[in-house]
Structure 1
Amino acid sequence: YAFYGVVFLLSVKADKRSALDDQLRARTLLAGLGAQLDMATFRSRQLRTFMSVRLKSVSASSVNRELSLLGAAINLYNSEMDTQLPNPTKGKLLREPEGRVRWLKPVEAERLIMTARLSLTPYLADFIVLALYTGARRGELLGLTWDRVDFERAFLVLEAEHTKGQKRRCIPLHPRALQALRHLQTLGSGEFVFSDRNGRKVGSLRKSFLNACERADIRNFHIHDLRHTCAAWLVMEGVALVVIRDLLGHQSVKTTEIYAHLDLVCVRQGLSCLDWKGQNLGSV
C-alpha cells in the first residue's frame, strides 16, 4: 500500500500540534525503512534493525516518537481500509530516562529576578515572575492577551487553542503575578501582555534570559525550568499532585509524578511516626 501517503496524511492532520515534527519523523521512517516497503510482510526483525541504526545517533525518546507515528499510521490504514495489516510496533517502545528536573531555590529565583530588572529587555523580569507563579509555558505566556486577564477576580485564562494539551485552563493569580501584570500594562499598548513598543507580540526571550542567568550566576537553567520551579515549590509545600497536574495542564498525573520525590512534607510526616527512642521496634 502507499506507505508514504498514509504516514504523510497522518503527519499533516490539521488538528495536530505536532504536524511539523511528524513530517520530519515521517521522512526519517521513509529513509530508514524504504518508501516501497511492503507492509503486508513487514515484521519485527526489520523494525529492530531500523531501531538499532537510529539509536546510534538519536535518543530512545526520539526513536519512540518515530515508532508511535509508524504505529498510528498502520492503525489508521487498517481502520480506513478495513484491513488487518500486522503492527510490529506494539510493545516495542524503549525505556526512556526520567525527564530533566532543574529548579531554583527561592533565593536563586530572587537573584534572577533582580538581575532581570537590570536587563535592556523591560518585560523580562515580569515574564520570569509570571512563569514562576503560574507554572505556564513560555508559549502560553507570550501568547497571552489582555482580554484573558481578570484583575478583579485575580485569574487568567488559557484557551484550549493556546495550550499544549488543548484544554482550557484558569490559573489563579498570586499577588506577585498580579503585580507583574500591572507593571506590564505600563510597558505596552498592544493586545498581547508581552508586546514591544510598537504593540507587536514578543517573539523570543531566549537571549536576554540566558544573559540574565549568566549575570545571576545561575548555570544549566532554561526558560522551561521556571515551570519546573513552580511545580517543585508546590510539591515541597505539600500540594497534591493532582492539583499541580491541573494547574500545569498535564494530560496525566504520571507526568506530574516526576516531582514526587520533592514531597518532603509527606516524608517528614511519615518519619514522625517512627519511635526514635527505640520503643516498640522489633529486632531485625
Structure 2
Amino acid sequence: MKCDPPFIKLLKEPKKRVRWLTESETQRLIMALSPHLADMVIFSLETGLRESNVTLLRWEQVDLSQRIVYIEGDDILKSEKAFVVPLSEIAINVIKRQVGKHSKNVFTYKGNPIRRANTKSFKNACEQVGIENLRWHDLRHTWATWHIQRGTPLEVLQELGGWSDFKMVKRYAHFTHQHLQKYVNRNPTNASTNIPTLRKFGQ
C-alpha cells in the first residue's frame, strides 16, 4: 500500500536585517562616545567601511594627496578584489587627527592598536542615549541608506561600498522613491485637464 509523504511546512527565509541611524541619533551617539570611538564612528559613516577595515587600517593604506584609502581584498571584506575608497573632507579631518599617534595603525587607544570597535563602551553609549538594537555593522547600513536618500545611483553605491553582488546593494533601494516619480504621470503637463475629478470615497 502506497502512503503519501508527510506534509512538512516550510518556513520562510528571514528577511535581511537593515538598521540605520537618523541624523539625530547619530549626533547623540557621537556626543556620548569617547574621542577614539567617536572618530571611528564618524569615519565609518563617511566611508561605509566595515568594522575590521577601520580598526585595522594602516597608514600605508592612506593617501591624503589623492584623498583615498586602499582596502585590500580578503575574507573580512567578503571579496577577493581590492578597491579604493574616496575620502570626504570630514573623513580626511578624522585621519589627520590620528597623525603621530602610532607608526603603523591609524586608529589607536592610548597608543595601542584597536582590534574591536563594537565594544561594551560602544554599547553603553548607545544605551545611554536611548539607541536600541544597534550593532557596529549598522553604521555601514546607515552610510548606504543616507547615500540612497541623497540620490546616489545604486551602481555608484556598489562601487563605493566594494560590493561584488548587486543584490547586496538593492536592499537599500526601498529607502528612496524620487527616481520613481517621473514614471507615475503619463502626461504631467495636461494631467489635471484630461482626467475627470474622482468622487470622494463612499459617494
Regarding TM over 0.5, the answer is yes
1:64-83 to 2 correspondence within 5 Å?
none
**Equivalents in 2 of 1:240, 1:145: separation in Å?**
30
2:73 counterpart residue number: 160
Q: TM-score normalised to the size of structure 2?
A: 0.82
**Cα 1:274–1:177, aligned 2, differ >3 Å: closer, same or farther?**
same
What's the secondary structure of 1:279's corresponding residue?
A: helix
The residue aligned with 2:91 is 177
Cα gap change, 1:214 to 1:269, in 2 (>3 Å): farther
Q: Counterparts of 1:1-284 in structure 2 under 5 Å?
A: 96-116=13-33, 119=34, 122-161=35-74, 163-186=77-100, 188-199=101-112, 201-205=113-117, 206-271=119-184, 278-281=192-195
Contact 1:132-1:227 at 8 Å conserved across structures: yes
Structure 1 Cα separation of the partners of residues 91 and 129 of structure 2 = 21
Alignment partner of 1:184: what SS? coil
Tell me the C-alpha RMSD between the 2 structures: 2.7
Alpha-carbon contact 1:98-1:258 (below 8 Å) kept? no
The higher-RCO structure (CA 8 Å, 6+ apart) is: 2
The letter of the residue matching 2:18 is V
Unaligned runs of 5+ in 2: 199-203
Aligned-partner residue type, residue 106 of structure 2: V
Consecutive unaligned residues in structure 1, runs of 5 or more:
1-44, 61-94
Deviation at 1:184, TM superposition (A): 2.0
C-alpha distance in structure 2 between counterparts of 1:102 and 1:281, whole Å: 41
- Cα offset, 1:231, TM superposition: 0.3
C-alpha distance in structure 2 between counterparts of 1:276 and 1:185, whole Å: 60
Whole-angstrom distance in 2 between the partners of 1:270 and 1:106 = 30
Identity among equivalent positions (%) equals 32
Look up the SS of the partner of 1:185 in the other structure.
coil
Q: Secondary structure at the match of 1:221?
A: coil
Q: How far does residue 283 in structure 1 lie from its aligned partner after superposition?
A: 9.2
State the distance in 2 between where 1:164 and 1:243 align. 18
Instruction: State the 1:238 CA deviation.
Output: 1.2
What corresponds to 1:11 in structure 2?
A: none
CA contact (8 A) 1:123 1:184 kept: no
Measure how far apart 1:208 and its partner are.
1.5
Q: Does the C-alpha gap of structure 1 residues 221 and 269 become closer, same or farther in structure 2, counting only changes over 3 Å?
A: farther
Give the TM-score normalised by structure 1: 0.60
Q: CA deviation at 1:271?
A: 4.9
Distance (Å, rounded) in 2 between the aligned partners of 1:256 and 1:219: 24
Which deviations, in whole Å up to 9, do the C-alpha atoms of 1:203-224 show, x marking residues without a partner? 2222121112112221111100
